[in-house]
Chain A
Amino acid sequence: MKSMKNLLGVAAVSAVIAAGFASTSARAQEAPEHYAMVVFLKGSEFFNWAYAGFQDAAKTVGATTELQGPADWDASAEARAVDQLVAKGVKGIAVTAGDADTLVASINAAMDKSVPVLTFDSDSPKSKRLLFVGTNNFNAGFAAGKAIGEKHGDNARAGISLFPGNDAVNQRIQGFKAGLASVAPGAKVIAEVNDEGDLQKAEQVNTAMLQANPEINVIFCAHGNPATGALAATRNVGRDQGDNKIDVVAWAIDVPILLGVQEGEFTMTVAQNPYMMGVQSFLQLWSAAHPTQFDNMNHPGFGNVPTADLDTGVKILMQGDPAVEALMTPPQL
């Protein structure tokens, strides 16, 4: 009797599995093409913009999408997400690399299995990815540095709030220094602080930086997170208004930052175009997943995509720019 029950149990489980496989193959015939985006900071407004673009572009061709990735800046978790999406059988993956080297093995494995992968926003140049879609970070930093140099001239004394170890951030800082030097050779970068990508930490370290270096008249935020903390730091040292006001240069298009620009709290913000990064990422993946009569020159077997990186550019937004208002409505996901 007991063995009969066991047998029935095994038969039930087998039936469920068989039904699962049967439904899978049936679904495979009907399902629309499915693409994925992997980010290293899930929930970030910047990546929400990028994903909205990705989603909207997918809708135009009847494809579906999903967003994956950690909420705590762990590139190894991104690598695992890429592995899992490949196992799931997605048609293409757009990934922003939390660490360039960590993603190499997973991206290469995906490409070897004929799943097209491209990077956006933060690159993994040593990998076999199809191309990079995003801001040329050096050029963007250069534009910010040039704008500050034009405003302050040789008197510019900048502090930089950064998150170490990210190639994109490093390139922005190099660009900022070069842009500053291009119009104001006497301008100087006085200090650099590690805000660890955290708002409260940004307030602490920037306050300490301003107290130790009272000559600083500009804080350049080299990534999206520290701007509000840096602004709070200028308040903490009583230099958020008046003649001695410190110019805070943000690097974000979050609503609080845009409001701050509109109200003159932030002198300027470097506005990338994450929505277009998402749109272009999808279109390139779609193209790569649908080969035409001539193969991709760099990656035979895939459809055609540009052989060079795709720069989505930036705009330096200041008070009164109509683009500020336009960006104030966050995307629907």
Chain B
Amino acid sequence: MTAKISYADVEVGTELPAQTFPVTRATLVQYAGASGDFNPIHWNEKFAKEVGLPDVIAHGMFTMAEAIRVVTDWVGDPGAVVEYGVRFTRPVVVPNDDRGTVIEVSGKVAAKLDDNTVRVDLTATNAGQKVLGMSRAVVRLG
């Protein structure tokens, strides 16, 4: 593992560069194919509404995959991630237009742990509301 961020250089409160991730219906179709999750709530508006959703929603695992990029882009080596967990608290609704929606993710060092690891707390929002809870990663720094 070769993290480009040094443990000595971070402190509790250090902010990671925030990122914005666009999501369109095309993104969801591509993610469905790559992940093998073909649940129709992620691509079929009629089905989504029949089961009580406002519209097609993004895969929770898609949002989880995007959120950790704030950490992996920060450290450089994705293999430096030791733990990663989230709670799916609110769906990301994706309208059927060419603009779609965006997921905004920020992160902050919440604790310095043993073995050059730190805990990063992530905040992921869509349309001004949090979509992930308890979103935390433990990452090994250089």
Q: Are A and B bound to each other?
A: no
Interface residues of A (CB under 8 A from B): none
Hey, which bits of chain B sit against chain A, CB under 8 A? none
